[in-house]
Chains A and B, each alone.
Chain A
């Protein structure tokens, strides 16, 4: 099932950090409930901190897992100092496609759609553990809405399609607004 990634990107882009953190925590909780084996496999890995730098998003994400601890994602301001073992840089849409197993990480790496910095051990382990799961953002996050899910996803898809056409204009206006402040 299609996930409205353009809309999700735009939605997150304009939200304040605490709200993005709350949405991220909720999404992580839903995925955890749906894929307990993913999270137990992540616990078994060595301690890792992957900094996710989204090229189309004004914040960073710090994904921490391993060493028997629960996996977590912290939303960070790029100006904050942060420790990490590996950094991955790419668009939110590309990373969501990788999360769902719809695109190949190596292919995105060859084409430079994603870039990796630092030690690659943690990111290769995470990629391999993740690829064992059949993650569907629709099923994991939208489907729990029950009978309302089809209506919600239809509305989101229409909005996503419209927004993907209009987003350059929105982003340009938003950037202008930010610069003027």
Chain B
């Protein structure tokens, strides 16, 4: 049985995930050390300790994402997060930066380490490096691999793998995307803020059309009956050769529910549901649907919860183009 790894942006969402049937929950601290550093979201150390205790009492594991990249001179926040995760009795930490991995390996050798998708390790040489130097126990694979490529990686590395089952399609090179920071001056990779709300605005355009902007840059405009994507530069619609098109990524959500048996047969250890920035209602709905699919092979539609209201298998079926 594959492990169901579920998101929690708040203690209430963590409770919802436990009640809906999560095997494992991932979450982060309310600061720059995690890649979902949005206002009002995430956990204080007190909330983390209490939430882990609650999850453990229900037989559910908790992973803490410390998966951003420290700026020079600011390592103390990442070091503190690792100390706090150890004190809170996290089942593992999810890390991306080599320096943070090194610190965790030396200071907390017994604390289990997973390699974050933010490290963008998509080949066996890279994964072998992290395994050899930092004794990582699991790698979260980027969303650019086909099922055949995932199977090949598992065969070559012998490591546990975690793949995304539901959420964003995930553009290009995760952990190395700077599109948002060119516009806002705030970094998704160092500060955990892609398209921060403080820079996002929506304005009426014409004839019931709404325009989404990031800073002074118009990202998109969509008509009254058109599904709205997230206001990130990768989901912007740009004019190329006089044609308006989604240049980087279509506004559709990844949903691997129909190919769970193929992922299991490839040797995947864990399925990850994305969405720490989503509500507890989303967490309850998606976790329950995947729990049911894993336990009974029956499927419940999640199309409305998917970004843009439509779904895709992403790279799993066709590879990355």
Contacts and interface: CB of A to CB of B under 8 A. Distances in A.
Contacts of A133: 12
A124 interface: yes
Contact of A107 (B10, B11, B203, B282): B282
A106 B39 contact: no
Interface residues of B, number: 37
B304 interface: yes
A124 B38 contact: yes
A112 B225 CA distance: 7
Contact of B304 (A107, A120, A123, A127): A107
Contacts of B227: 110-112
B181 interface: no
B309 interface: yes
B224 A124 contact: no
A70 B275 CA distance: 31
Nearest to A102: B281
B245 interface: no
Interface string A31-58: 0000000000100010000000000000
Contacts of A125: 39-40, 197
Contacts of B281: 101-104, 107
A126 B12 CA distance: 15
Contact of A104 (B200, B204, B225, B282): B282
A116 B197 CA distance: 12
A101 B197 contact: no
Interface string B277-312: 011111001000000000000000000111111000
A123 B198 CA distance: 10
A87 B237 CA distance: 24
Given A119-B198, A129-B40, A133-B12, A110 B307 contact: yes
A172 interface: no
B305 A104 contact: yes
A118 B13 CA distance: 27
Interface string A110-141: 11100111111101111111011110000000
A109 B307 CA distance: 10
Contact of B39 (A104, A116, A124, A134): A124
Interface in A70-128: 98, 101-107, 109-112, 115-121, 123-128
Contacts of B196: 121
B54 to A, nearest CB: 14
B11 A110 contact: no
Nearest to B308: A110
Interface in A128-156: 128-129, 131-134
Contacts, number: 97
B232 to A, nearest CB: 12
Contacts of B11: 132
Contact of B224 (A98, A112, A131): A112
A31 to B, nearest CB: 16
B197 A118 contact: no
A105 B10 CA distance: 15
Give the interface centre of B10, B39, B280 by most chain A CB atoms within 10 Å.
Answer: B39
Given A103-B281, A112-B228, A131-B10, A120 B200 contact: yes
Interface string B213-229: 00000000000111111
Contacts of B226: 112
Contact of B198 (A106, A115, A121, A134): A121
B196 to A, nearest CB: 8
B197 A124 contact: yes
Interface in B168-216: 196-198, 200-204, 210
Nearest to B282: A104
A97 to B, nearest CB: 8
A145 to B, nearest CB: 26
B228 A110 contact: yes
Interface of A: 41, 45, 98, 101-107, 109-112, 115-121, 123-129, 131-134
20 contacts: A104-B282, A106-B279, A106-B282, A110-B228, A110-B309, A111-B304, A117-B203, A118-B201, A119-B198, A121-B198, A124-B39, A125-B39, A125-B40, A128-B38, A131-B9, A131-B12, A131-B279, A131-B280, A132-B12, A134-B12
Interface of B: 9-13, 38-41, 196-198, 200-204, 210, 224-229, 231, 278-282, 285, 304-309
Given A107-B281, A120-B231, 6 more contacts: A106-B278, A106-B279, A111-B304, A117-B210, A128-B38, A132-B11
